């Protein structure tokens, strides 16, 4: 393989991994607070359509980014009201949220189908970006790629080093104790759910603004579910999440690449690779059950009702 | 009864005297719907006083302290702090005033470190390293050693309680509330706790102490307030009372003592456990290591131990909820059954009462009659019914009614759902359901956990009677008073290993305590074993 082909592959891996990383980071924070939101797919696809629409109507991809995050957070609001305030079942509500997001985005996006979108520009730093091979890879990405890495570092620091993160983990580990100590469990969880929604929306927005700047119905194509699996895969650690997201991005792209080389493997098998790897990863993790359970936020998915 | 009971109206407190009290609750009323948990409760504590709050389960003790700590708000009444009226809006406000609380059910975060757990209760703690150093020094100073970096999940119950206490100490409290602190401690750990509390009191800190253990209240406390059905019924100096007179004040009637049974005749072996190994099934679970025991007809063998040392694993292995491959590891009535499930072991004549009555011992949403069927389906199925898969609900109704009347199960309607019963009544029902089968072997885990004195006495009497009738009874309990009251032989479980069974009349509290902590490793264990051998020498 020559160098330019390798560069192309690596660049696409970055683009394929970033939406996974963004959405999974948000879900990681949500789950650290003890809330299981299975609506990632729905929030991503809403982010995709909102980002596309905003960028197209205003001509600014940056407004598109903001709109994507806002749309994801907005869709998380009914989830929060139902599961946190009205104590509905989190799994059922999350699944409903995905269905709602997919349907709603199809409706909103109907008139955008087939329209060319506004692409988020890649960074161009004179001198640095021009360095052969390394330049485009390290200094020629779009801002969301850098944002996703910065966010991973920030989330990691906040969760494990700051008081805010300590409270977040406490609420996820034992909500009754956190309540007894005087922390507002519901408020912390609301913040985590909204953050998770915004980052899922951002991940979806990346798809319609940078990955393929157009709107296609159901364009998230199951990435929300992969993001959910990644959170478990990473044992709720942001550093491992970065590795996991890039691993899955790489598997996806290598599938396409192998197809392009004309290897005699059925295309369907190759495009199902990421999902097979997801299942394999989950199986491996669940066989180390003891350890995985120790990492799991103990209150994950459990409803909380403060006593009177 | 000594005559030091002060009438309900209180000790004639005048307004001018109020400032002598650190905290005073006046006319506290708390209603949950139609239920009045606290009714015109007055409570006053002086600085440096260890004040006992006594009462049966459901007398309103926890409700009252939760209002002092701001977790609940009173329906009526006022709280005064150093003579000034205050509204304790939330636990944060209570901490600002100088009120610390050690909870009955620990309020710790298992996945977090000791330092992180404590930091959560200290709003201004931002420098974790400085806090860790402070924890180490304060815990050493008070004789409550703690490793700041350890994760709570890895710690014993005694260590966890130290975290709670150190957490309160770092807040420099003026009032420390302790809700049943010794329920989970070994006698030695409890002694250490009393030293700490006495030191705190001598430094001017007031302690509000809730306990069911009247002997330790007599020993430790300077004053007491006794609640019954949400009302203050007496204020006495516990050191001038006897445990019996305190119990009488709490219950409002004499608590009947367990009838001693006839001299035991060692009967045939009912249950035999041989070198039972069981791997831990989770990161926080305990593995059983070569557990052996023999339970004979006519005796009660009690297994003491601090919670989380393998009691539930042992129960699961005996009941068949967890099976082992080696059939001979568990032998019921001469039948190797290590590989058999719960139902098959029942058919051999065994009966099981698990610790968790609601959700394990009984299905919350099922009626009592339906819960009867769950442990006795074979009995209700004659050949024809068994063939068709129908149950005889009339027989189930009759059984439920018989159990209810025999064991004094108080309920609102004839056949209520299990969850509508109070804890004590449901426990009586769950135990009675098994006893009604006249089992040859009964394995019961925590028979009177969270049950009031009257119900506990009834259950213990039933266990004693069952053994007297020729059954073997295995009682797993953390309540040493209960164990010494009913057991013929006592064994101690520690870190998944079971000590030999000692005759109850040669066992002492001290010896049980040594065995409880004995297997925890290191020089402590050797020292414990030596002391134990000495104690053995004296006893025989």
* Residue B256: pLDDT over 80: no
Predicted pLDDT of residue A20: 96
Residues 6+ apart with CB under 8 A from A289: B282
Average pLDDT over residues B481-503: 90
Most confident range, picked from A155-159, A181-185, B347-351, B476-480: A155-159
> CB under 8 Å, gap of 24 or more: what pairs does A59-62 form?
A59/A118, A60/A118, A61/A118, A61/A119, A61/A120, A61/A121, A61/A209, A62/A120
pLDDT digits (tens, 9 = 90+) for A289-302: 555 455 788 899 98
- E-only strand ranges, B47-174: 50-54, 76-81, 84-86, 99-102
CA distance B252 to B250: 6
Which of A204, A213, A264 lies closest to A40, judged by CA? A204
Interface of A with B in 140-169 (CB under 8 A): 163, 166-167, 169
Interface of A with B in 180-209 (CB under 8 A): 180-183
Angle between helical axes of A185-206 and A163-173 (0-180°, round to 10): 100
Burial class (CB in 10 A: 0-12, 13-18, 19+), B242: middle
* Residue B519: pLDDT over 60: no
CA distance A94 to B44: 51
Beta-carbon separation of A293 and B283 below 8 A: yes
Q: Which of A170, A290, A308 sits opposite B120 (nearest CB)?
A: A170
Residues 6+ apart with CB under 8 A from B334: B269
Average pLDDT over residues B488-508: 89
Beta-carbon separation of B91 and A294 below 8 A: no
In this structure, the dihedral spanned by the alpha carbons of residues B384, B385, B386 and B387, taken in order and rounded to 10 degrees, is 50
Predicted pLDDT of residue B513: 80
* Residue A227: pLDDT over 90: yes
Which of A211, A228, A208 lies closest to A23, judged by CA? A228
What percent of chain B is predicted at pLDDT more than 70?
85
Average pLDDT over residues A254-278: 79
B365 — pLDDT class (breaks 50, 70, 90):
confident
* Residue B13 within a domain: no
What's the Rg (C-alpha) of chain B? Answer: 25
Most confident range, picked from A118-127, A138-147, A276-285, B281-290: A138-147
Do B36 and B97 belong together in one domain? yes
Do B43 and B107 belong together in one domain? yes
CA-based nearest distance A174→chain B, Å: 6
Do B222 and B273 belong together in one domain? no
Beta-carbon separation of B110 and A182 below 8 A: no
Do B430 and B410 belong together in one domain? yes
Rounded alpha-carbon distances, angstroms, from residue A13 to A118, A119, A124, A211, A254 = 21, 18, 19, 11, 8
- Window from A124-128, A208-212, B93-97, B216-220 with minimum mean pLDDT: A124-128
- Yes or no: say if B433 and B265 are a contact pair by the CB < 8 Å rule: no
* Residue B4 within a domain: no
pLDDT digits (tens, 9 = 90+) for A24-60: 999 999 999 999 999 999 999 999 999 999 999 999 9
**Residues from chain B contacting residue A169 (CB–CB below 8 Å):** 109, 111-112, 116
A285 — pLDDT class (breaks 50, 70, 90):
low
Do B364 and B340 belong together in one domain? no
Do B211 and B288 belong together in one domain? no
Tokens of A220: 């998230």
CA distance A307 to B281: 32
Compare all CA atoms of chain B with the CA of A292 and give the residue at the minimum distance.
Answer: B283
* Residue B328: pLDDT over 70: yes
Q: What is the CATH number of the domain that holds B495?
A: 3.40.50.300
Do B246 and B379 belong together in one domain? no
Beta-carbon separation of A177 and B108 below 8 A: yes
* Residue A134: pLDDT over 70: yes
Give the residue ranges of DSSP H helices in B41-186.
61-68, 91-97, 114-119, 128-141, 157-170
Predicted pLDDT of residue B283: 64
Predicted pLDDT of residue B20: 84
Average pLDDT over residues B472-491: 89
To probe the interface with A, which of B70, B100, B107, B113 has the most A CB atoms within 10 Å?
A: B107
pLDDT digits (tens, 9 = 90+) for B303-313: 998 777 888 89
DSSP A293: H
Predicted pLDDT of residue B14: 41
**Residues from chain A contacting residue B111 (CB–CB below 8 Å):** 169, 173, 294-295, 297-298
Q: Which of B91, B92, B283 sits opposite A290 (nearest CB)?
A: B283
Beta-carbon separation of B111 and A294 below 8 A: yes
pLDDT digits (tens, 9 = 90+) for A137-188: 888 899 999 999 999 999 999 999 999 999 999 999 999 889 888 889 999 9
- Contacts across the A-B interface (CB distance below 8 Å): 63
- Yes or no: say if B212 and B58 are a contact pair by the CB < 8 Å rule: no
pLDDT digits (tens, 9 = 90+) for B218-243: 889 999 999 988 899 999 999 998 87
Average pLDDT over residues A80-87: 95
* Residue B410 within a domain: yes
Predicted pLDDT of residue B284: 65
* Residue B458 within a domain: no
**Residues from chain B contacting residue A290 (CB–CB below 8 Å):** 280, 282-283
CA distance B168 to B100: 5
Q: How many domains does chain B have?
A: 3
- Of the two residues A5 and B353, the one the predictor is more confident about is B353
- Of the two residues A198 and B153, the one the predictor is more confident about is A198
- Window from B9-18, B322-331, B399-408 with minimum mean pLDDT: B9-18
Beta-carbon separation of A297 and B111 below 8 A: yes
Do B246 and B148 belong together in one domain? yes
Domain of residue B303: give its range. Answer: 267-349+442-452+472-540
Average pLDDT over residues B394-413: 87
Q: Which of B70, B95, B120 sits opposite A166 (nearest CB)?
A: B120
Average pLDDT over residues B418-445: 89
Tell me how long chain A is.
308
Predicted pLDDT of residue A275: 80
Do B188 and B298 belong together in one domain? no
CA distance A59 to A118: 7
Compare all CA atoms of chain A with the CA of B121 and give the residue at the minimum distance.
Answer: A181
Region of B333 (left: φ > 0; alpha: ψ -120 to 50; beta: rest) is left
DSSP B361: T
Q: Phi then psi for B264, rounded to 5 degrees?
A: -80, 135
Residues 6+ apart with CB under 8 A from B7: none
To probe the interface with B, which of A31, A33, A182 has the most B CB atoms within 10 Å?
A: A182
Predicted pLDDT of residue B182: 74
CA distance B468 to B482: 17
CA distance B217 to A266: 78
- Yes or no: say if A151 and A199 are a contact pair by the CB < 8 Å rule: yes
Average pLDDT over residues B476-505: 88
Beta-carbon separation of B120 and A183 below 8 A: yes
Q: Which of B72, B120, B280 sits opposite A181 (nearest CB)?
A: B120
* Residue B259 within a domain: no
Do B50 and B114 belong together in one domain? yes
- Of the two residues A237 and B34, the one the predictor is more confident about is A237
Do B300 and B381 belong together in one domain? no
Q: Which of B110, B116, B280 sits opposite A174 (nearest CB)?
A: B110
Do B219 and B319 belong together in one domain? no
* Residue B526: pLDDT over 80: no
Query: Position of tokens 């599961």?
Result: A83
Average pLDDT value for chain A: 90
A1 — pLDDT class (breaks 50, 70, 90):
low
To probe the interface with B, which of A162, A169, A174, A292 has the most B CB atoms within 10 Å?
A: A174
Interface of A with B in 279-308 (CB under 8 A): 289-291, 293-295, 297-298, 307-308
CA-based nearest distance B307→chain A, Å: 19
Beta-carbon separation of B109 and A174 below 8 A: yes
* Residue B533: pLDDT over 50: no
* Residue B467 within a domain: no
- Of the two residues B283 and B507, the one the predictor is more confident about is B507
* Residue B528: pLDDT over 70: no
B207 — pLDDT class (breaks 50, 70, 90):
very high
Compare all CA atoms of chain B with the CA of A169 and give the residue at the minimum distance.
Answer: B112
Compare all CA atoms of chain B with the CA of A177 and give the residue at the minimum distance.
Answer: B107
CA-based nearest distance A281→chain B, Å: 20
ipTM of this complex: 0.85
- Of the two residues B123 and A193, the one the predictor is more confident about is A193
- Of the two residues B283 and A85, the one the predictor is more confident about is A85
Predicted pLDDT of residue B540: 33
In the three-class reduction of DSSP (H, G, I as helix; E, B as strand; rest coil), residue B28 is classed as strand
**Residues from chain B contacting residue A295 (CB–CB below 8 Å):** 111
- Window from B42-56, B378-392, B471-485 with minimum mean pLDDT: B378-392
Predicted pLDDT of residue B377: 66
pLDDT digits (tens, 9 = 90+) for B368-397: 998 988 887 665 666 666 667 777 888 888
Beta-carbon separation of A163 and B126 below 8 A: yes
Most confident range, picked from A154-168, B2-16, B334-348, B450-464: A154-168
CA distance B240 to A189: 52
B260 — pLDDT class (breaks 50, 70, 90):
low
């Amino acid at each position: 393989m020559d160098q330019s082909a390798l560069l192309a592959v690596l660049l696409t891996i970055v683009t394929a991994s970033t939406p996974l990383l963004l959405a999974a980071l948000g879900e990681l924070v949500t789950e650290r607070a003890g809330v299981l939101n299975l609506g990632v797919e729905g929030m991503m696809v809403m982010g995709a359509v909102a980002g596309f629409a905003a960028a197209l109507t205003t001509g600014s991809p940056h407004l598109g980014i903001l709109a994507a995050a806002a749309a994801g957070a907005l869709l998380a609001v009914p989830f929060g009201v139902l599961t946190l305030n009205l104590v509905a079942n989190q799994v059922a509500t999350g699944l409903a949220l995905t269905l709602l997001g997919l349907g709603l985005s199809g409706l909103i996006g109907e008139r955008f189908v087939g329209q060319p979108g506004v692409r988020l520009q890649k960074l161009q730093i004179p001198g640095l970006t021009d360095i052969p091979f390394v330049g485009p890879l390290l200094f020629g990405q779009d801002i969301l790629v850098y944002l996703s890495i910065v966010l991973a570092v920030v989330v990691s620091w906040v969760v494990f080093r700051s008081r805010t993160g300590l409270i977040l983990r406490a609420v996820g580990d034992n909500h009754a104790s956190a309540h007894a100590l005087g922390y507002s469990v519901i408020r912390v969880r609301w913040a985590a759910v909204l953050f998770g929604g915004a980052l899922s929306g951002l991940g979806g927005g990346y798809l319609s603004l940078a990955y393929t700047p157009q709107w296609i119905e159901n364009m998230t194509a199951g990435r929300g579910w992969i993001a959910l699996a990644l959170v478990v895969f990473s044992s709720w650690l942001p550093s491992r999440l970065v590795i996991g997201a890039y691993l899955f991005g790489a598997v996806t792209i290598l599938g396409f690449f192998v197809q392009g080389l004309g290897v005699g493997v059925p295309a369907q098998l190759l495009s199902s690779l990421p999902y097979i790897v997801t299942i394999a990863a989950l199986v491996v993790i669940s066989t180390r059950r003891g350890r995985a359970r120790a990492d799991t936020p103990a209150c994950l998915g459990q409803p909380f009702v403060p006593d009177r | 009864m000594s005559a030091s009971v002060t009438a309900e109206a209180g000790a004639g407190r005048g307004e001018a005297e109020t400032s002598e009290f650190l905290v005073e609750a006046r006319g506290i009323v708390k209603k949950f719907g139609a239920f009045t948990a606290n009714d015109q409760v007055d409570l006053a504590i002086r600085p440096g006083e260890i004040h006992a709050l006594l009462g049966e389960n459901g007398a309103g003790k926890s409700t009252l302290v939760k209002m002092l700590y701001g977790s609940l708000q009173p329906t009526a009444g006022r709280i005064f702090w150093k003579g000034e009226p205050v509204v304790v809006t939330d636990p944060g406000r209570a901490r600002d005033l100088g009120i610390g609380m050690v909870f009955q059910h620990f309020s710790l975060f298992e996945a977090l470190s000791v330092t992180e757990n404590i930091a959560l209760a200290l709003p201004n703690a931002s420098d974790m390293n400085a806090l860790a150093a402070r924890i180490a020094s304060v815990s050493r100073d008070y004789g409550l050693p703690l490793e700041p970096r350890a994760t709570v999940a890895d710690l014993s119950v005694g260590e966890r309680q130290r975290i709670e206490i150190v957490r309160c100490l770092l807040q420099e409290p003026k009032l420390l509330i302790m809700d049943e602190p010794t329920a989970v401690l070994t006698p030695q750990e409890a002694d250490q706790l009393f030293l700490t509390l006495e030191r705190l009191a001598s430094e001017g800190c007031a302690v509000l102490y809730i306990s069911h253990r009247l002997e330790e209240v007599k020993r430790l406390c300077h004053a007491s307030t006794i609640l019954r059905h949400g009302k203050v019924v007496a204020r006495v100096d516990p050191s001038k009372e006897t445990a019996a007179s305190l119990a009488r004040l709490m219950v409002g009637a004499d608590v009947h003592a367990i009838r001693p049974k006839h001299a035991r005749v060692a009967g045939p072996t009912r249950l035999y456990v041989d070198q039972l190994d069981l791997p831990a099934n989770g990161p926080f679970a305990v593995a059983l290591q070569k557990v052996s025991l023999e339970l004979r007809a006519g005796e009660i063998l009690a297994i003491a131990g601090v919670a989380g040392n393998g009691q539930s694993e042992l129960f699961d292995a005996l009941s068949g909820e967890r099976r082992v491959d080696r059939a001979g590891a568990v032998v019921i009535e001469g039948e190797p059954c290590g590989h058999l499930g719960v139902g098959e072991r029942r058919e051999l004549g065994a009966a099981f009462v698990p610790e968790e009555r609601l959700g394990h011992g009984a299905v919350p949403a099922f009626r009592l009659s339906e819960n009867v069927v769950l442990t006795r389906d074979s009995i209700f199925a004659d050949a024809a019914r068994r063939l068709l898969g129908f149950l005889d609900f009339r027989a189930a109704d009759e059984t439920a009614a018989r159990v209810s009347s025999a064991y004094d199960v108080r309920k609102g309607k004839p056949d209520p759902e299990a969850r509508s019963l109070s804890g004590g009544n449901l426990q009586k029902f769950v135990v009675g359901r098994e006893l009604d089968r006249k089992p040859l072997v009964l394995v019961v885990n925590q028979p009177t956990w969270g049950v009031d004195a009257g119900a506990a006495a009834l259950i213990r009497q039933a266990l004693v009677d069952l053994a007297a009738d020729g059954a073997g009874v295995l009682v797993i309990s953390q309540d040493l008073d209960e164990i010494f009251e009913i057991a013929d032989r006592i064994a101690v479980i520690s870190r998944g290993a079971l000590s030999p069974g000692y005759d109850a009349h040669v066992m002492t509290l001290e010896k049980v305590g040594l065995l409880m902590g004995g297997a925890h490793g290191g020089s402590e264990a050797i020292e414990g074993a030596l002391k134990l051998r000495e104690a053995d020498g004296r006893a025989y």
